[in-house]
Amino acid sequence: MDEGYLNISRDELDLETTLEVGQTFSWYRLSEGTLYDGEGNKYFTTSNGNVLILWQEDDKLFYKATGGMEEQIEKRFYLNDSLRDIKEGLRGKDEILDKALDSYKGLRLLKDDFFPCLISYLCSPQMRIPRIKKMFNGIAERYGDKINVDGRTFLQFPNVEQLSKASEEDLRDLGIGYRAKYVVRTVKQILDGLVVPEKLFKMDYREAHGEIKKLFGVGNKVADCVLLFGVGKLEAFPVDTWIKKAVKKYYPEKYDKNYLRLGDNFRDYFGEKKVGYAQEYLFHYIRNQESNL
């Protein structure tokens, strides 16, 4: 494996916070599960048969990688964007957001591979993060490839062709429940070309939002989650139960029953290229302040 490090302060990237708050299901601690044995402060992801391992020490982000995956670090974590500048651009908008920004230093948005991101959020309705992770891992273990590197075996989520071998009954046996029909039909729709993932990256946010909703089981919130975390549309503002409660409590003048109009209110308020960050900070702050809602 290739090895090296990047110089980056924890104020610009706190790896543990970024990977543990629930925006991704494609990263693992190296010590998780029976397939992995190693240091708990190291994280890995896999893509196209290759592995990327990351960990932090002081102001250095260390990596081990195969297949040139180290070249994806900046893209996956938007490291070319200054988090300090993003947060300063949001600071002073209102008290609740300022508290959220102060509570999560180094929390960055990230971008996962599209297909694993899509399937993870199809599994997310009415589910807590540990349960989603368990379902996601079950699919990966049953239908994905195992990557062997340096005496370790790493799990890789299946591609669309591999997952097409799963029936609804198969997925229900893995504990996916009623969401199994979302996964099976969405996989078929992608294979049939109803939605071409590569085209989503070239569309503007509004067009991509309408396009991805053609997939079975993809509603407004799931569409925004996948666009934000799997396509890189920073204009997305996912509205789930927590955000809806926060809006009604702290931003009642911006509430709208129409999903896209509500999002537009916050795109105008926070800025189109910052609203995804604002949502991420608000979501995790509000979720951890449940007793106040």
CA dihedral for 288, 41, 149, 72, sign (positive or negative): positive
Q: By mean pLDDT, which of 98-102, 186-190, 288-292 is the weakest?
A: 288-292
Q: The whole model's pTM is what?
A: 0.93
Number of separate domains in the chain: 1
- Both tokens of 264, joined, read 């537009």
Cβ-Cβ contacts under 8 Å for 100 (sequence gap 6 or more): 281, 282, 284, 285, 286
Q: What's the confidence (pLDDT) of residue 289?
A: 77
CATH at residue 215: 1.10.340.30
| 211 within some domain | yes
Query: pLDDT tier at 189 (50, 70, 90 boundaries)?
Result: very high
| 259 within some domain | no
With beta carbons less than 8 A apart as the criterion, state whether 177 and 164 touch: no
Gap between the Cα atoms of 170 and 180, Å rounded: 8
- Both tokens of 152, joined, read 């370790």
CA distances to 99, 206, 255 from 118, rounded to whole Å, are 31, 18, 27
Which has more confidence, 229 or 41? 229
| 266 within some domain | no
Query: pLDDT tier at 77 (50, 70, 90 boundaries)?
Result: very high
Average pLDDT, the chain: 92
pLDDT tens digits along 12-61: 999 999 998 889 999 988 865 445 555 668 999 999 999 999 999 999 99
Report the pLDDT averaged over residues 202-221.
97
State which H helix or E strand residue 246 sits in. Answer: helix 241-250
Q: What's the confidence (pLDDT) of residue 34?
A: 41
Q: What's the confidence (pLDDT) of residue 291?
A: 47
Q: By mean pLDDT, which of 100-104, 130-134, 267-271 is the weakest?
A: 130-134
DSSP per-residue letters across 172-229: HHTT-TTHHHHHHHHHHHHHTTSS-HHHHTTS-HHHHHHHHTTSTT--HHHHHHHIII
| 75 within some domain | yes
Q: What's the confidence (pLDDT) of residue 288?
A: 80
Query: pLDDT tier at 290 (50, 70, 90 boundaries)?
Result: low
Q: What's the confidence (pLDDT) of residue 241?
A: 85
Query: pLDDT tier at 139 (50, 70, 90 boundaries)?
Result: very high
Block residue for tokens 């589910």 = 127
| 285 within some domain | no
Q: Which of 17, 236, 46 is nearest to 108 (CA)?
A: 17
| 258 within some domain | no
Q: By mean pLDDT, which of 90-104, 218-232, 240-254, 278-292 is the weakest?
A: 278-292
With beta carbons less than 8 A apart as the criterion, state whether 226 and 238 touch: no
Provide the 8-state DSSP code for 240. -
DSSP per-residue letters across 149-165: ETTEEEE----HHHHTT
Q: What's the confidence (pLDDT) of residue 125?
A: 77
Residue 79, classified by CB atoms within 10 Å of its CB into exposed (0-12), middle (13-18) or buried (19+), is middle
Q: What's the confidence (pLDDT) of residue 39?
A: 60
| 282 within some domain | no
Q: Which residue range is the domain that position 185 belongs to?
A: 2-103+112-231
| 277 within some domain | no
